[in-house]
Amino acid sequence: MDFSFLPPELLRMILSILLVVTVVFANAIFMVYAERKVAGHVQRRFGPYEVGWHGVLQPFVDALKLMGKELVVPRNASPFLFRFAPVLAFTPVVIPFLVFPFAEKLTVLDLDIGLVLILAISSINIMAILVAGWSSNNKYGLFGAMRSVAQDISYEIPILLSLLSVALITNSFNLRTIVQAQIGGVWFCLLQPVAFIIYFIAAVAETNRAPFDLPESESELTAGFHTEYSGMGFGLFYLGEYTNMFIACSVAAAVFLGGWSGLPLPADAWTGVIWYFLKVYLLMFIMLWIRWTYPRVRFDQLMNLSWKYLIPFSLLNLIITAVVVKLT
Amino acid sequence: MSNYFSNIFHTTKSLFTGLGVTIREMFRKPVTVQYPREVIPVSPHFRGPLELLKKEEGGFRCIACENCARNCPSSCLTVVSRRSEESKKKVLVSFTQDFTRCSLCGICVEVCPASALAYSSTDVYLAGFTREEFLLDLIARANKGEGP
């Protein structure tokens, strides 16, 4: 077929949106499988094993099952908000993919405020959780939602402060510029180890992953904010969670681990994406590993960690960075 | 203040210890058994339904003394015998166990003077759809094991 009648910019947009949506879904499918396999092997089980070779088809049949189920709206729930919340959890997470520097020539939008955009958009997730918990007219849902808001607000600060110290060094919020600055010198995880560690801890909390999974703590709140959700509504929350994990790890890979840089490959400008994904999934694996190692923290411990440890250290780190940048 | 920093140190150390434990376990062989395809060998001490043992030259060891039936606290054993015409000895006619009532206490096995009873350790899949399936005819079960 001949697409030359279309403006090239439109064609590029359609292609990149298709690619981005594909990555989002493929990532969710892969992570469902990886999570269950890692969980299994950490507990010395096999994990999914029956559907397909070593259970590789399990996420697909799970998705089919979820799609086949009815989304039950509880009585006295707010029907519009109840249906809207999963969509709100899932749709905005696609946007940060537009600014990720997957490889030197593989960025959808070369935005100067990329980092700010990602942070702004990924905060919408909190809204989705709040709307879901509130609209489902369930005490557990509401508790989960409230905890989530308190948690995400307190962990947003260390994330911002730790990323800000990198932005001070590179003097830019553009992710491509940040990656290129690392290719010239050292990766920022060596230059800013404290910021990297703080960012990663806060990112685990920000994506509501165990040991900070208080919004859905299943032992206290049945399932927290998605207690009342069934079928694909529940599925979309999971899709959103895994995509948020990808976003958090992707930012870490770009800002601290040198993005697409790595050992030289043929056609570097395009194949750098391999290194990028390798780094992202390494960080994702560490997130899974953390989840299946630690028990859930208590709520006061969660707040202590953020306000008494992460924020002071990231502030100190930021000040030292600012002074050093000013002096040199 | 020194408490604050030692807290950080000890917490970090113990967190890494935990991560070390899980990563080690992750690369070890899983301990679960994939049930329909793999089965665990049954322990020789497994207490299944009773089993009538045979003499080496053939025939049951049971002398039909009914000690087991009399001592059974759940009264779940029924031994039927008749007196042989020529040898004047008791001959076993039927030996049934009502497994729905058996508490697997093992008194029957202990009191048997001829050591003719044992627990079967082969039949561990004790499930059925009717009560009658658990009225076990031990003679038939023992003979079935010999094969055609």
Reading the block at residue A58, the tokens are: 């399990």
d(CA A30, CA A33): 5
Q: Which of A45, A293, A309 is opposite residue B22, by nearest beta carbon?
A: A293
Residues of chain A with pLDDT under 70: 1-3
The CA distances from residue B16 to A53, A280, A283, B10, B19, in Å, are 34, 21, 16, 10, 5
Spatial distance between the Cα atoms of A252 and A247, rounded to a whole number of angstroms: 9
Question: Alpha-carbon distance A174 to A160, whole Å?
Answer: 15
- A-chain CB neighbours of B21 within 8 Å are 293
pLDDT of residue B148: 40
Residue A215: its pLDDT value, please? 72
> Considering only alpha carbons, which residue of chain B is nearest residue A305?
B8
- Which structure tokens are listed for B39? 């089965």
Residues constituting chain A: 328
The CA distance from B128 to the nearest CA of chain A, in Å, is 27
| Per-residue pLDDT tens digits for A238-280 | 888 888 888 889 888 888 888 787 777 777 777 778 888 888 8
CB A74, CB A85: distance < 8 Å: no
B80 DSSP β-pair partners: B94
Interface ipTM: 0.71
Say yes or no for a CB contact (<8 Å) between A309 and B30: no
Q: Who has greater pLDDT, A61 or B1?
A: A61
Q: What residues in B contact A289, CB-CB < 8 Å?
A: 19, 22-23, 26
- A&B contacts, CB < 8 Å: 36
Q: Do A289 and B8 touch (CB under 8 A)?
A: no
Chain B nearest C-alpha distance from A296 (Å): 13
In contact, A279 and A103? CB cutoff 8 Å: no
CA distance B28 to chain A (A): 7
Nearest to A289 among B23, B28, B34 (CB): B23
Query: How far is CA B3 from its chain centroid?
Result: 58
Q: For residue B145, what pLDDT is reported?
A: 60
Among the partner residues A42, A46, A309, nearest to B8 by beta-carbon distance: A309
How far apart are the C-alpha atoms of A128 and A92, rounded to whole Å?
10
CA distance A239 to A216: 15
pLDDT at position A2 is: 67
In angstroms, the Cα distances linking A293 to A80, A328, B15 are 38, 42, 9
Q: Is the Cα torsion angle A80, A86, A91, A96 positive or negative in sign?
A: positive
Span A221-235, pLDDT tens digits: 777 777 778 778 888
CB contact under 8 A, B18 and A293: yes
Q: Nearest C-alpha of chain A: how many angstroms from B34?
A: 9
Q: Are A290 and B19 in contact (CB < 8 Å)?
A: yes
Which residues, other chains included, contact A160 with Cβ-Cβ below 8 Å and sequence gap of 6+? A119
Contact B72, B108 (CB under 8 A): yes
Of B8, B19, B34, the CB nearest to A289: B19
Chain-chain contact of B26 with A49 (C-beta, under 8 angstroms)? no
With beta carbons less than 8 A apart as the criterion, state whether A287 and A204 touch.
Answer: yes
Residue A65 confidence (pLDDT): 87
The verdict on A290 touching B (C-beta cutoff 8 Å) is yes
> Does the beta carbon of A42 lie under 8 angstroms from any beta carbon of chain B?
yes
Q: Could you say which of B15, B22, B32 has the minimum Cβ distance to residue A42?
A: B22
- Separation of alpha carbons B27 and B38, rounded Å: 21
Give chain A positions within 8 Å (CB) of B28.
44
Q: Which residue has the tokens 């007196």?
A: B83
What is the distance between the alpha carbons of residues A237 and A208, in angstroms, rounded to a whole number?
12
Q: Which two tokens stand for residue A68?
A: 């086949």
Q: How confident is the model at residue B147 (pLDDT cuts 50, 70, 90)?
A: very low
- Nearest by Cα to A132 from A122, A144, A147: A144
